[in-house]
């Protein structure tokens, strides 16, 4: 079962963007949460009070945004987004009936540490999902390895398991060496999961590791081009 991080306020499901160690909401979702008909009301509030917003409270989105399934969400370049602190400040100026409830909700999330910058520079809430997703792919890949080797009368030892993991690590980092998952950010964890899935598919075509290398490298290149890292343009 795929795990997704979502925020829910007053029955509204929100899809947060994670970057710069914080969680961000688009002006559209913020407006919806505050009971406005569209994002224009949020834009007007921000314009009238922009001198009170710092760059870590609001910025302009830049680059392809993908959800936790790796699917494009269609957030347009130039869309204004707000961190949770920025959302709270917008709600302070909002005059809607639900604004007070929204402010309490945001503060409750901040108190739990969601969307708050972490010392290691990684949003641990989102990261925990990707770590588990990566681990969940490991067993099926190892099962495929065992099945393929048994089909040709070969046994599978710990050496073969380690070798296959290092092979996938090489596709990610270019180095044939163990990885400490605590050093991987959300993007790399997601990519490593995709690499393991692709490797499992290639294994099922009875390709030897040497024959899988170029195919896996081409897959990673395509992935990086189609699913670039999130980039933000800091602008007030």
Closest CA to 145 of 198, 204, 196: 204
pTM comes to: 0.48
DSSP assignment string, 47-102: HHHGGG--TTTEEEEES--B-TTS-B--PPTT-EEEEHHHHHHHHHH--STTHHHH
Provide CB contacts within 8 A for 118, sequence distance 6+: 21, 124
Strand partners, 59: 81
Helix, strand, or coil (residue 191): helix
Same domain, 132 and 220: yes
Same domain, 217 and 132: yes
In-domain check, residue 201 = yes
Residue 50, pLDDT score: 87
Distance of CA 73 to the CA centre of its chain: 12
pLDDT tens, position by position, 77-106: 678 999 999 999 999 999 999 999 999 999
pLDDT tens, position by position, 121-163: 445 556 666 666 677 777 888 888 888 889 889 998 888 888 8
Same domain, 12 and 95: yes
Higher pLDDT, 157 or 73: 157
Residue 55, pLDDT score: 85
| pLDDT band, very low/low/confident/very high, at 111 (cuts 50, 70, 90) | low
pLDDT tens, position by position, 202-211: 998 888 899 9
Count of structural domains, the chain: 2
For range 39-52, the mean pLDDT: 92
């Amino acid at each position: 079962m795929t795990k997704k991080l979502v925020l829910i306020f007053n029955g509204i499901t929100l899809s947060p963007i994670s970057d710069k160690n914080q969680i961000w909401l688009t002006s559209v979702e913020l407006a919806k949460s505050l009971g406005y008909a569209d994002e224009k009301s949020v834009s007007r509030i921000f314009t009238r009070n922009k001198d009170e917003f710092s760059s870590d409270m609001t910025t302009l989105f830049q680059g392809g945004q993908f959800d936790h399934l790796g699917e494009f969400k269609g957030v347009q370049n130039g869309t204004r987004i707000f961190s949770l602190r920025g959302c709270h400040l917008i709600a302070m100026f909002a005059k809607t009936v639900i604004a007070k409830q929204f402010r309490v909700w945001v503060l409750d999330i901040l108190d739990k540490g969601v969307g708050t910058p972490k010392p290691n520079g990684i949003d641990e809430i989102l990261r925990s999902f990707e770590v588990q997703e990566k681990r969940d792919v490991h067993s099926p890949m190892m099962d495929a390895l065992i099945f393929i080797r048994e089909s040709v009368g070969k046994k599978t030892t710990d050496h073969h398991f380690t070798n296959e993991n290092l092979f996938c690590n090489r596709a990610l980092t270019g180095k044939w060496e163990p990885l400490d998952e605590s050093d991987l950010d959300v993007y790399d964890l997601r990519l490593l999961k995709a690499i393991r899935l692709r490797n499992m598919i290639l294994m099922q075509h009875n390709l030897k590791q040497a024959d899988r290398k170029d195919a896996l490298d081409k897959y990673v290149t395509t992935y990086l081009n189609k699913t670039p890292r999130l980039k933000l343009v800091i602008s007030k």
